[in-house]
Structure 1
């Protein structure tokens, strides 16, 4: 069964808060997802920090 959660993050381009679907059952991940507001590519990093999952976002052009 898929473990799908949602995370609210701030787009590093336009500053709008967007919601990303996150599947922590797939382990640590790094991928590109377009902002649903400004359509720019956001680099998403999902990683384990102790017993908790963390998500960070960055501009794809950094």
Structure 2
């Protein structure tokens, strides 16, 4: 199941929308910011029901 989330880039502080694939369950991966192109570490946590989720981000080099 694909979802979108509005996040704030921890590098440039711009609000950006990212796509999340909930079907893979909980995951941590790197995605480049669409504005500043710096790497963002995305930490996706998917609940057991596969529908509820939380997403946290931080700069990859922190």
Same fold, TM exceeding 0.5? Answer: yes
Aligned equivalents of 1:49, 1:27: Cα separation in 2: 8
Distance 1:49 1:12 in 2: 25
Aligned length: 60
Give the alignment's TM-score, normalised by structure 1.
0.89
Unaligned runs of 5+ in 1: none
C-alpha root-mean-square deviation of aligned residues, in Å? Answer: 1.4
Match for residue 45 of structure 2 among 47, 52, 58 = 47
Query: TM-score under structure 2 normalisation?
Result: 0.89
Unaligned runs of 5+ in 2: none
Secondary structure at the counterpart of residue 23 of structure 2: helix
- Cα distance in 2, alignment partners of residues 58 and 26 from structure 1: 21
